[in-house]
Amino acid sequence: MTDFKDILIKYMEELDCSSKELADSSGLSAATISRYRSGERIPDVESDNLKQLIYGIVKLAQKRNLSSINDITVHSDFLRFLPDISADFSILQANLNTLFTMLSINTSEFARFLNYDASYISRIKSGERQPADPELFLVNTALFVTKRYTKKTDLSILANLFDCSLEELREEKTYLSLLKHWLQTKHTNTDKEQQSLSHFLQKLDEFNLDDYIRVIHFNELKVPTAPFQFPGSKNYFGLKEMMNSELDFLKATILSKSQEDVIMYSDMPIEEMAKDSDFPKKWMFGMACMLKKGLHLHQIHQIDRPFAEMMLGLESWIPMYMTGQISPYYLKESTGQTFMHLLKVSGAAALQGEAIYGHHTQGRYYLTKHKTEISYYKEMAELLLKKASPLMEIFRGNAAIPYHAFLQADAKTSGKRYHILSALPLQTLNSSLLEDILNQNQINKEDAQKIKTYIDKKSAQIQQILSHDMITEEFPILSKEEFSRFPIALPLSDIFYEKNIYYTWEMYKQHLESTLNYEKTHQNYCIKQNQQSAFRNIQIRIHEKKWVLVSKNRTPAIHFLIRHPKMRNAFENMIIPIVEF
């Protein structure tokens, strides 16, 4: 399919000119010409860049006596491959909604600038209305954003969105041009990495361990002790039999008397196995039985695979992570893309498999119950575990002491922090309002004192960080209607306190006001208000370039401390998904 860059390349070939020659002739930078040639950028229909590009091409054509290349033909050729905003307003509408979400744009303020009624803007955003002059709407939208959003935090968000440098956006003309181009260009929903990370977080946010236990009847599971009848060893071939070998390994492990830890590793393709409608259910049930038996699992994840596939794998582990019986690891060194391996060892069985990369359906898998072979594979698994690094540290209530020690020690270390919260920050809650909230919820004295002590410690930690570094906290601002539908509770997962302690509407407004005042009186503290909530049951704390802490407030209260660079970078650069109330 021909596009703008193909027409440009065609003209450059006809003119036999380099990017530098065209840059000199047009007055555009060599970098701009390079971006047009690669398809990374296209000029706006009415932009000076397009006029300069056409001028430069025609000027070179005149020097080479190519009369067939003139203003009219070049402009006509390019125009056919530049987006017409009035032809498909849905593109601008979708991008406008993304922009509102990313920058937390206030609809009323935006409407005033464009001289529209706020309700009409809302209908434009929802797709119910289209402005009479889409081109003018586009220009005015771009002007509003470039004038209103000039802080470094805003520009950083946009630089990531536009795939450009922060420095480019500091020049007003470039900022305006890039924004207009982005607004009228159709984008994929988001790249696979963004989608998979958002989906993982939404699953974590929604997951309720109590509900899960009820659904799978975990508490009713009875782990049988009858021996699993199959030969001392067995070979399996192909993808279907590989899935059977996994289930047979679980059966052998569950039905044995052994209480030894289990070590598991596989770099086999997860997406292929997930396509089978029955296997994931049977595998999950087998894993639940193994955990019900009380076995501890050392799971070595293979994350040297596409990010989306890696997150799909981690997503399936959410329920099991919640039990606290799993220690996740990863291998720093790449295992390469020639051979694929599988190694799973328990006290009762060992499963080993191998295949050529890209040809897993022709793989061979071997399951054994022979003691000498189990001993051999166990030694192999333990050596592999020694080469692995923790993928994340998981803290539940029984690990409160090391968790609090980590938070205390980290407060002394340098680095910017960014917090994505589902409720207002606790360090901005004054003692008298806290007392009122606790009394309103009829919290007993012992619990009340525990909560007060914790909030005092947290406030001191925040103050310590602010003494040497910046903290930005992002949280939703709710209307009275939204608050009545989804009331906010104190976020107390740091002390693993899962009882909901709710605000009244008046208490919520008081806490919000004290938070806004806290920002004014603390130089290194910055808040980012959202019109909607990203999550309702989790919060994300990011210590730039060091770690990400994903905390689930309840069912259960649990914390995932992630240091792995690939995952950490994904969190640092992600676009926060929005939950509509």
Higher pLDDT pick, 561 / 567: 561
- Largest CA-CA distance found in the chain, in angstroms, rounded: 92
What mean pLDDT is predicted for residues 377-404? 91
* C-alpha span between 49 and 46 (Å, rounded): 9
Contacts of 240 (CB under 8 A, 6+ apart): none
Q: What is the separation of C-alpha 524 from the centre of its chain, rounded to a whole number of angstroms? A: 26
Instruction: Work out the angle between the directed axes of helices 307-316 and 565-573 (0-180°, nearest 10).
Output: 100
Q: What is the pLDDT of residues 30-79, one digit of tens each?
A: 888 888 888 777 787 767 788 899 999 999 999 989 888 888 888 878 87
- DSSP for 520-575? HH-TTEEEEEESSBS-SSEEEEEETTTEEEEEE-SSS-EEEEE--HHHHHHHHHPP
What mean pLDDT is predicted for residues 375-396? 92
* Integer CA distances (angstroms), 361 to 351, 357, 473, in order: 17, 10, 48
* Cβ count near 56 (within 10 Å): 23
Q: What is the pLDDT of residues 140-158, one digit of tens each?
A: 899 999 998 888 767 877 8
The answer, yes or no, to whether residue 430 has pLDDT greater than 90, is: yes
The segment with the largest mean pLDDT, out of 72-86, 376-390, 479-493, is 376-390
Long-range contact list for 379-382, CB < 8 A, 24+ apart? 380/343, 380/345, 381/263, 381/265, 381/343, 381/344, 381/345, 382/263
Alpha-helical segments (H) within 40-79: 48-63, 71-79
Higher pLDDT pick, 58 / 226: 58
Among 137, 115, 136, CA closest to 124: 137
The answer, yes or no, to whether residue 403 has pLDDT greater than 90, is: yes
How many residues can be counted in the chain?
A: 581
What phi-psi label fits residue 146: left (phi over 0), alpha (psi between -120 and 50 degrees) or beta? alpha
User: What pLDDT is stored for residue 579 in this prediction?
Assistant: 43
What mean pLDDT is predicted for residues 478-486? 87
Residue 232 has φ and ψ, to the nearest 5°, of -55, -25
| First-to-last C-alpha distance (Å) of the chain | 41
* Integer CA distances (angstroms), 569 to 103, 139, 201, 474, 564, in order: 21, 34, 15, 18, 8
Specify the DSSP class assigned to residue 442: T
The answer, yes or no, to whether residue 184 has pLDDT greater than 50, is: yes
User: What pLDDT is stored for residue 346 in this prediction?
Assistant: 96
User: What pLDDT is stored for residue 204 in this prediction?
Assistant: 63
User: Comparing 53-62, 68-77, 316-325, 461-470, which segment has the lowest mean pLDDT?
Assistant: 316-325
List residues bridging with 420 in a β-sheet: 474, 540
Task: Provide the strand spans (E) within 337-470.
Answer: 339-345, 350-356, 364-368, 388-390, 392-395, 417-420
Percent of the chain with pLDDT strictly greater than 70: 83
User: What pLDDT is stored for residue 580 in this prediction?
Assistant: 42
Specify the DSSP class assigned to residue 502: B
Contacts of 31 (CB under 8 A, 6+ apart): none
* C-alpha span between 83 and 182 (Å, rounded): 11
In this structure, the strands spanning 471-476 and 525-530 are parallel
* C-alpha span between 222 and 535 (Å, rounded): 36
Q: How open is the CA angle 573-428-403, to the nearest 5 degrees?
A: 60
What mean pLDDT is predicted for residues 175-181? 87
